[in-house]
Amino acid sequence: MKILDINSRVFDKSLDQLLKNRRDKIKLSSVSVSKIIKDVKKNGDKALIKYEKKFNKSSKITHNFSQIRKSIAKLDSKIKKAIDVAYNRIYKFHSLQKFKNISYRDKLNNKLEYKYIPIESVAIYVPGSTASYPSSVLMNTIPAIIAGVKRIVMINPCYKGKPNPAVLYAAKKCGIKEIYSIGGPSAIAAVTYGTKKIKKVDKIVGPGNVFVAAAKKEVFGDVGIENMTAGPSEITVVCDKFSNPEWIASDLIGQAEHDPMAQCILISKDKSLIFKVKIEIFKQLKVLPRYLIAKKSILNNSILMHINSDKKIIEVVNKIAPEHLELNINNYKKVVKNIYNAGSICLGKYAVMAMTDYNAGSNHVLPTNGSAKYSSGISVNEFYKRISYIKLSKKGIESLGPSAITLANYEGLAGHAYSVKKRIRSK
């Protein structure tokens, strides 16, 4: 675990270097995706099955509905109820995000409109294989449903061809009818370019590991992706002398268990609390089922920072631009008003990141690796296109046309000017 102290003369330089090293690690981890994408693009299902066998020990691409029903039937009713609760809360909050179309008519009887049109087809990437994330099904699909997307496809890798019943139940709850048991860069390529078994989509959303994130960047342009980097996971926790070190340690571990590349950062004015949290982290790690994954994340990517002023804490948080930010401090109202870069912000000691991952109602697909500086998490807006509609009256073009002609001629675009002149001169 890296420890940085604000009193060090090289604090800023060290922090910059650590953040750069993380970005470089992610880039290096993703160099092999191009070959896989090209293979699937050229060889379709044959290549797709090859990679599923290699990475997920599976030769299946699809599930029959009988298998899906049997799998769901075995699912514990408590899990179903928990998914139902999460579905309702996520749906409620995201339904409030719907945009209104704009219509404007000026004094010349020109009419301008701006309409939100749902994307026709979307692929939802749900991480899987040795883990299962029914929550990711809900977080990605519900905003698409609210936006009015007609075709929603789920891609979810299954280890040894065994689908996860909770993931399938969440998919059923959302009304998803196309489910493919594929994952990684090959899955991204399949829904981008299409195969005999899989029809291509217009956009891909959803979190994944470094290879999935890299693949999405690689195919962007041939298909739409979110306006952010979604994964690997990260959290920054700001705490004070009143914070509970056991709670803080569990918050950090909760993020670390996602992925060896996950990043956990702790910031506090209180040195003694930092060391208490450090001790508690290694104590709690010992009993964690995903111990090896979390340990790698903690040892390689964790940063503990002692910073003695709110001003500097705010500056550092905005520089990190974390996916998840917890302000576990008494004066969070004072601090939060100056924080502009974060995927989501949890306020106070009870607003824990884990709740936002499941049923608080907000979305957990959030910008990572500094992309919170320019992008946002998944919302209903992610699944719309925006189209402008323009209707000009005869009076309108005659009034506005001369200035448009002036600008067109200035830019050396005589054809533009001529197309306007023709309409002005016509009687």
What does the pLDDT read at residue 130?
A: 64
For the ranges 109-123, 250-264, 313-327, 336-350, which has the lowest average pLDDT? 250-264
Cβ–Cβ < 8 Å for 203, 122: yes
Which percentage of the chain shows pLDDT scores above 70? 97
What does the pLDDT read at residue 19?
A: 87
Distance CA 418, CA 125 (A): 49
30, pLDDT greater than 70: no
pLDDT, one tens digit per residue, over 276-302 is 999 999 999 999 999 999 999 999 989
374, pLDDT greater than 60: yes
Listed residue (59, 31, 32) closest to 46, CA to CA: 59
Distance CA 41, CA 186 (A): 9
Q: Over the chain, what is the mean pLDDT?
A: 92
28 confidence band (pLDDT: 50, 70, 90): low
Listed residue (210, 216, 181, 195) closest to 39, CA to CA: 195
Q: What is the pTM of this model?
A: 0.90
For the ranges 57-71, 177-191, 193-207, which has the lowest average pLDDT? 57-71
Q: For 247, which DSSP code? A: H
426, pLDDT greater than 70: no
What value does the CA radius of gyration of the chain take, rounded to a whole number of Å?
25
232, pLDDT greater than 90: no
What does the pLDDT read at residue 29?
A: 59
What does the pLDDT read at residue 375?
A: 92
Instruction: Find the mean pLDDT for residues 84-89.
Output: 97
* Domains of the chain: residue spans and CATH: 2-28+231-373 (3.40.50.1980), 33-227+380-384 (3.40.50.1980), 392-425 (no CATH)
Annotation marks residue 411 as catalytic: no
Instruction: Find the mean pLDDT for residues 404-427.
Output: 91
410, pLDDT greater than 80: yes
- Axis-axis angle for helices 245-256, 271-285 (nearest 10): 50
What does the pLDDT read at residue 44?
A: 95
* DSSP letters spanning 132-148: --HHHHHHHHHHHHHHT
391-408 burial: b if 16+ Cβ within 10 Å, else e: ebeeebbebbbeebbeeb
Annotation marks residue 323 as catalytic: yes
What does the pLDDT read at residue 20?
A: 87
62 confidence band (pLDDT: 50, 70, 90): confident
Listed residue (119, 121, 118) closest to 191, CA to CA: 121
Q: Among 324, 326, 364, 382, which one carries the catalytic annotation?
A: 324
For the ranges 231-240, 320-329, 384-393, 411-420, which has the lowest average pLDDT? 231-240
Q: Among 257, 323, 326, 382, which one carries the catalytic annotation?
A: 323
What does the pLDDT read at residue 140?
A: 96
Listed residue (421, 355, 426) closest to 135, CA to CA: 355
392, pLDDT greater than 60: yes
129, pLDDT greater than 80: no
Listed residue (258, 279, 278, 260) closest to 268, CA to CA: 278
pLDDT, one tens digit per residue, over 97-125 is 988 899 999 999 999 999 999 999 999 99
Please give the residue that has the higher pLDDT: either 158 or 139.
139
* DSSP letters spanning 375-426: -----GGGGEEEEEEEE--HHHHHHHHHHHHHHHHHTT-HHHHHHHHHHHH-
